[in-house]
A = this chain, B = another copy of it.
Amino acid sequence: MGRRDPGDRLSSLDTPSMIVDLDIMEANIARMISLLAPTGVDIRPHLKTTKSPVLAAKLIQAGCKGGCVAKVSEAEVMVDSGIDDIFITCEIVGAPKVARLIELFKRAPRLRIVVDSVPCASAINAALEAAPIPGNPQLQTLIDVNVGQNRTGVAPGEPTLVLARSISALTHLKLIGVHGYEGHLQHVHSRDERKNHCRQAMTVLSQTADLLRANHFDIKTVTTGGTGTAEFCATSRGITEVQPGSFIFMDVDYRNAVGTYFSHSLTILSTVISKPEPRRVVIDAGLKSLTTDSGYSEPKGLPGISYVDNGDEHGSLSWANEGDCGLEVGDRIEMIPSHIDPTVNLHDFYCAHRKGVIEEIWPVATRGKVQ
């Protein structure tokens, strides 16, 4: 398998390998905590980035409160690893998935879910009715509100109130809050523009929470935010919780938007396998190692050299200028992913190192958990 034991040096790794610089990762965590701690909001990091209960535990130890996941199958892994304060941020639809949710809820009573429609909410309620859990615990439910991303979510204001009233008739669900993810704002490059649009989205969300409270709903949680907006969300009126994820590793796309307040801690170690011409080499990392949905990855520390994929297993590094690129067959390159979450999803484990010596191996435990 190529050696990958604590104490080994990175040079002993086969490639491509996903590696994490622990010094940089720990600094990123400390920066997010110190940035947000003064605001008093909870940090419930989205674990869709790391896909690892080990890292979820490190984040909780640093001061975060539980975690978010996208899917029931991810929540199962987290709960079975002892991370049981979990918020599932995608709507749960379909009899097989609802059945899994109920089984999980039996052993994870702190679970939180979202709904954005009556069919979605009532199917879950009906399943709890049909197979009651001893003590009849209520499942903590948040309404997914569309704050401008136009993905899922009910419209803010009156439509959310109408849905809240429907949920209040479902005896197995307990409405505890609203969730509104402004995903469309995470990568707005201008900080001022990002901040202003975020403030508007947060006003929509908190006013909707206020409308529900004015109608006697006990809205405790108003949750939102990502790496690109967490600091603005956390300083907006009425927000109780933020969900950043990518800050722990960062990527090219977020760096282009957010800047270098957080640093790249994760790279894909790769090898030059061919040098077809002086200006260009081919590395062993293609679509199966680095995603392209948000642009191309970048080689670390090689200014003037750019990457494109050449299919599943190949990528080209090309030198923009005349002459030789200076890279040779056998050279090792660290690639900075363009989009961190789906890149992590391609790999089976992390090799976490400090100054080139491997300290820990972490499985990507929720990799591929799409259900």
Q: Which residues of B contact A370 (CB under 8 A)?
A: 16, 284-285, 288-289, 313, 346-347
Is A38 part of the contact surface with B, judged by Cβ < 8 Å? Answer: no
Q: Which residues of B contact A271 (CB under 8 A)?
A: 93-94, 97
The size of the chain A interface, using a CB distance under 8 A, is 68
Which one of A56-64, A112-120, A167-175 contacts B?
Answer: A112-120
Q: B152–A314 contact, CB under 8 A? A: yes
State the CA gap A16–B93 with chains docked (Å): 11
Within A97-120, the residues touching B (CB, 8 Å) are: 97, 100, 116-117, 119-120
Q: B117–A275 contact, CB under 8 A? A: yes
Q: B276–A330 contact, CB under 8 A? A: no
Given contacts A2-B100, A152-B282, contact A342 B274 (CB under 8 A): no
Given contacts A71-B313, A183-B311, contact A96 B152 (CB under 8 A): no
Q: Which residues of B contact A70 (CB under 8 A)?
A: 312-313
Q: B371–A93 contact, CB under 8 A? A: no
State the CA gap A73–B15 with chains docked (Å): 11
Is A368 part of the contact surface with B, judged by Cβ < 8 Å? Answer: yes
- Number of copies of chain A assembled together: 2
User: What is the distance, in angstroms, from A211's C-beta to the closest C-beta of chain B?
Assistant: 20
Q: A288–B342 contact, CB under 8 A? A: yes
User: What is the distance, in angstroms, from A28's C-beta to the closest C-beta of chain B?
Assistant: 20
Q: A15–B274 contact, CB under 8 A? A: no
Q: B330–A346 contact, CB under 8 A? A: no
User: What is the distance, in angstroms, from A194's C-beta to the closest C-beta of chain B?
Assistant: 18
| Most chain B beta carbons < 10 A, residue from A93, A271, A272, A309 | A93
Contact with B along A108-152 (1 / 0, CB 8 A): 000000001101100100000000000000000000001000111
> A151 is contacted by which of B90, B291, B310 (Cβ under 8 Å)?
B310
Q: B342–A312 contact, CB under 8 A? A: yes
Is A287 part of the contact surface with B, judged by Cβ < 8 Å? Answer: yes
A sample of 11 more A-B contacts (CB under 8 A), given A93-B329, A151-B282, is A2-B371, A48-B312, A70-B312, A94-B271, A123-B330, A146-B276, A151-B316, A152-B282, A284-B370, A287-B293, A288-B342
